Chains A and B, each alone.
Chain A
Amino acid sequence: MTVTIDLEQAIAEEATTRRRRRRPGSLGAWLGAAWLLLIGGMAVFADYLPFVRGYAQQVPYARNFAVHPGSDFWFGSDQLGRDVFARCIYGARVSLLVAISSILVGLTVGGVLGLAAGYFRGKTDRGVSIVADCLLAFPPVVIAILIVGRLDALSETGFSVLWWHPTRTWSVVIVLSLLSIAPITRIVRAQTLSLSQREFVVAARSIGANRRRILLREILPNLVPAMISVAFTGIAILLVAEGTLAFLGYSVKVPTPTWGYLINESRPKLRDAWWPTIFPCLMLFLTVVSFNLIGDRIARHFDVKEAAL
């Protein structure tokens, strides 16, 4: 009798200490979520918000010179008299859209490959692992520049498949998805390997559940926490990748602002005006931090070990 009471007490104590230990980490994640909601909301509704100007709109009295940040221009204006704040908000639109759609493709393809490799093992595993090895051998930025550049040349030749024509946005999404596949495959594979040894999977198999049921109903739902945290960390990494590509001049077609492009655009004039360059830098940094904080928090909550890309 006493033993059970002790045990229950111990479990309760363990639970409270665990809760206490976990508490301090959440503040950052909440701040991150707030920032993302703010930026995401403004980016989505930019056209309807009264305080966001058009990103290409020149303000008459600020034409052709840079105005300091102030009450009228929150982030100042650039050399052409355009509102830096508005450009940052519209930049968020492209950057986030590209990063999120790429991670979705990466999660789907990488998820399927990793699941297959981890569950069937043997030849499937070896095949998938070699493909992942090859993909990981390409330095991300280098291969991204190469592919985007070549797809540009391809689109100049007038190439198209049915109605699809390779535009810059497409190339960037393709490249970033390609880059995210291999790391995600590795993570999903490792998770599936350990999950498929667990009791509940063995139990399901022993009562004669078929393969499809085991994969979809037993293993897949247990992969979700890891996937969510990978998605957040992955978006952070892809945002940086997109920013880097845009900075080097290889992201979405030029008049559309993205953070990386904005950083590069006013850099030659850094001596005269710091704000058109430094504010997009801060936006990119804060957004990346937010995604990382949330991803990290989710990983700790579900005790995911290998969620780092």
Chain B
Amino acid sequence: MRYALSRLLQFLFVFIVVTFVVLAISRIGSDAPARDLAGGAVSQQQIDEVTQRYHLDQPLVVQYAYWLKGFVTFDMGYSYIQSQDVGDMFRQRLPVTLFIGFWATLIGLIIAVPGGVYSAYRRDGWSDKAMSFGSFAMLSLPALVLGVILSYLLSVRFVLFPLIGNYVAPWDDPWQHFRNFFLPSITLGVGLGAIWTRILRTDMIVTLQSDYIMLARAKGMSPRRVLWVHALRGSVLSLLTSVAINIGALIGGAVVVEEIFSLPGVGLRLVESVQTNDLLTLQAIAAAFVVAVVVINFIVDLLYAVVDPRIRHVRALA
């Protein structure tokens, strides 16, 4: 319980600092935030309205408090440049980004779990060598390069997938959903899978040498059960951390693949909003991404304690 509380405090601190920094950064170079928030050339009356609504006459800290309240309650204001409520924009576009992230993580795990476990089990065998060669190559293959090459091969040369994607929910039309999301997800998933394979392999090699594995084997348990139930459970922790650490990279990757495959997601809107100087959308999206990273890391920290009882009792470690 003390563990959870100290994590919670740290989480709140980091949360407040990073969201404040996002707000502060998005004000850099804006000599008249009211004008930028109202969308460029506007009347004095509109500027006054915006000033009133976002409390721009107050110091930045007060503005931040109001903005954070709006952000948390999903009342993020109205973007005059896009003529759209920012909350509605999220409702419309977030599913795209979430699906990319979800499928990419799933593909990564489908590659990494069997790959990592088997390489560790048959360590230094030919399959292990082939797999570490492959994962090293994939690790060095930027999503940008893989995405462009895949889109060239599979949507230009052989027209199997659409070159310009759009959002189709899987429950509306699973086939179209697959066609639109397969390439972006595989682009990100392969890279993640390569990282996780390496981490899982290293961790499993250590786990497989520990006493409780030897005990399980000595009891006559089948190697398969030892490997997939006992050993994997011990290694899930480092995999979990790595999944959390890579959330930031995954979000960045989502921005890139949305651009490559023209998927109308939140990342694509972020790029547009920087170009059009759409401050309101800009700060909302950047904050949403940063908050996603912080929250997921917090959840993983707590999960950690659930999976590994030693962490729950801090003193037991000392």
Contact = CB atoms under 8 A, between A and B. Distances in A.
Interface of A: 130, 133-134, 136-143, 145-157, 159, 236, 240, 243-244, 247-250, 260, 263, 267, 270-271, 274, 277-278, 281-282, 284-285, 288-289, 292-293, 296
7 A-B pairs with least C-beta separation:
A141-B252, A154-B29, A153-B29, A149-B274, A139-B248, A150-B28, A139-B251
B140 A145 contact: no
Contacts of A240: 142, 144
A142 B290 contact: yes
B241 to A, nearest CB: 12
A137 B145 contact: no
- Secondary structure dominating the interface of A: helix
Nearest to B274: A149
A304 to B, nearest CB: 14
26 contacts: A130-B13, A130-B14, A133-B10, A133-B14, A134-B21, A139-B247, A139-B249, A143-B290, A145-B255, A145-B271, A146-B22, A146-B274, A146-B282, A146-B286, A147-B28, A149-B282, A153-B29, A154-B28, A244-B142, A247-B144, A248-B256, A248-B259, A249-B275, A250-B274, A274-B152, A285-B140
B307 to A, nearest CB: 21
Interface in B142-183: 142-145, 148-149, 151-152, 156
- Secondary structure dominating the interface of B: helix
A104 B83 CA distance: 44
Contacts of A282: 145
Interface string B125-144: 00000000000110111111
B289 A150 contact: no
Given A150-B27, A244-B256, 7 more contacts: A145-B270, A146-B26, A146-B282, A243-B144, A281-B144, A281-B148, A285-B141
Contacts of A285: 140-142, 145
Given A134-B14, A138-B293, A141-B256, A292 B140 contact: yes
Given A133-B14, A134-B14, A278-B152, A150 B29 contact: yes
A126 B140 CA distance: 33
Contact of B139 (A137, A151, A292): A292
Contacts of B235: none
A157 B271 contact: no
A263 B148 contact: yes
B14 A150 contact: no
A243 B260 CA distance: 13
Contacts of A270: 151-152, 156
A156 B28 CA distance: 11
A284 B286 CA distance: 28
A142 B29 contact: no
Nearest to A289: B140
A297 B286 CA distance: 37
Interface in B51-92: none
Interface string B254-298: 011001000000010011001101000010011001100110010
A137 B297 contact: yes
Contacts of A267: 148
Contacts of A260: 144
Interface string B4-45: 000000100110011001100111111100000000000000
Contacts of A278: 148-149, 152
Given A130-B14, A134-B17, A146-B25, A139 B293 contact: yes
A138 B290 contact: yes
B85 to A, nearest CB: 21
A148 B253 CA distance: 18
A159 B29 contact: yes
Candidate in A130, A154, A247 with the most chain B CB atoms within 10 angstroms? A247
Contacts of B255: 141-142, 145, 248
B137 A289 contact: yes
A285 B156 CA distance: 21
Nearest to B18: A137
Candidate in B253, B282, B286 with the most chain A CB atoms within 10 angstroms? B286
B22 to A, nearest CB: 7
A247 B260 CA distance: 9
A277 B282 contact: no
B290 A139 contact: yes
Contact of B156 (A138, A149, A271): A271
B200 to A, nearest CB: 14
Contacts of A248: 255-256, 259, 271
A281 to B, nearest CB: 4
Contact of B140 (A152, A156, A288): A288
